[in-house]
Amino acid sequence: MTPLTKISTNAVKIADRLAQWQEFNAKAVGRPMRTLGDGSFQGTLEYAIIADVYWCKVTASSHRIEQGETFRSQSRVHVIFQLKGQSYRKQGDRAIQMSAGEWTISDLSKPYVSSSSEDIELLVLGMPAELVSTRSCDMGKFALRPFSGLSGVGKLAYEFGQDVFGQLGTLRSEFDGEIVQMVSHLIRLSLREFTDEATLSSHKSILCDRIKSYILSNLHDPSLDIDRIAEVHRCTKRYLHKAFEGEGKSISEYIWQLRLDRCRDQLLSLPAKTKSITEIALSCGFNSSAHFSTVFKRRFGVCPRGLRMDAARSTN
C-alpha cells in the first residue's frame, strides 16, 4: 500500500497559496481548474492510493474551485464525505449544499463548481466509475445527490471510509483489492437503499426536495419567501415548515444563507469581476445594497468590497 503523503500551502508564501492549491488539486483530479479565495487561505492534502482508488483528506479554509471543461473519455468519480463545515457544489442543473455527516458523488467528466464559505474537512475517494456503477445502478442519476452518513448503509460507507483512511500506512498491501471492493460495495448498497427509500418516501420528504430545488432556481427573485413557496406548492405554511424541519434551519434562513453564499461566489469569480457589488446583490435577490453589505459582513466577517479586494490581490 502506498504510504500516506501530506502536502500543505503553509510551506509557501501567503500570496502564492491559492496558486499552489490550484496546482495540488489539478494534479489530483488530472485536469486544469481555477481556485479563488482571499489572502488568508490555507489548505492541506493528505493522500494515498489503494488499488487505483485515490484516498484524500482535504482540510481548507473558505475558497472556490471551478472546472469548466468536459472530458468525454473520463470514467472516474469522486465520492465526497463531508467531515466538517459546509460545502456547495453545482454540476449542470444540479446543486447541493452539504453539511458534516453527509456525502455525495461527483462525475469528474463534467464541469463543476465547488465552494465553501467556512473551514471544511473532506474525505474524497477518487475511483473508476465502474466500481460504483452497474446495470441496475446507473451512476448518472445519483451524481450530486445527498446521502446520509448518519444512518443506514450510507453510515457504514461514511464510517468505513474514515476508518480505512485512519489506517493508511499500516494495512498490508495484499488487502488492497478487498478493501476497495468493500468500500465500493457499501457505496453501491447506499445507492440501492436510496432508490428503495425514494420509492417509499413520504410526501414530506419529496416536498422538502422540491422546496430546495425551487429555492435554488429562484434565489434571484426578491419576492421569494415562505408565502410564495406555499402558494406555488399548494399547501399551508405550517406544512412547509414540517416538511423542512429536518434541515436544522427554517426556510427563510436557508434562503438567506444560499443568497449570501451565491453573492460570495460571484465576488470571488473572475467572470463576474465587471459587475458592481450592487449588481451582484440585486441578482441574488437583495433589495438593498446597504442591507446586503450588513448581513454579508455579519456572516463572513468581511464586507463585500474587502473580500473582492483581497481576492484581486491574491490573483495578482
The residue out of 140, 172, 200 marking a domain boundary is 200
Residue range(s) defining the domain that contains residue 15: 5-200
Please report, for the domain that includes residue 291, its CATH number.
1.10.10.60
Same domain, 180 and 207: no
Do 277 and 253 share a structural domain?
yes
Provide the CATH number for the domain around residue 62.
Answer: 2.60.120.10
Question: Which of the listed residues 200, 223, 251 is the one where a domain comes to its end?
Answer: 200
**Residues 29 and 138 both lie in one domain:** yes
**Rounded Cα gap, residues 42 and 21, in angstroms:** 9
User: Domain check: are 166 and 62 in the same one?
Assistant: yes
* Predicted confidence (pLDDT) at residue 283 exceeds the cutoff of 80: yes
| Per-residue pLDDT tens digits for 25-65 | 887 776 778 888 887 899 999 999 888 898 999 999 999 99
* pTM listed for this prediction: 0.63
In this structure, the answer to whether residues 93 and 240 fall within a common structural domain is no
Q: How many domains does the chain contain in total?
A: 2
Residues 55 and 195 grouped into a single domain: yes
> Does 15 share its domain with 94?
yes
Let me know whether 194 and 246 are in one domain.
Answer: no
Question: Side chain identity at 66, as an amino acid letter?
Answer: E
Which of residues 177, 200, 223 is at a domain's end?
200
pLDDT tens by residue, 105-126: 988 888 889 999 999 999 999 9
To which residue does cell 465552494 refer? Answer: 115
At 226-252, the pLDDT tens digits run 999 999 988 899 989 988 888 888 999
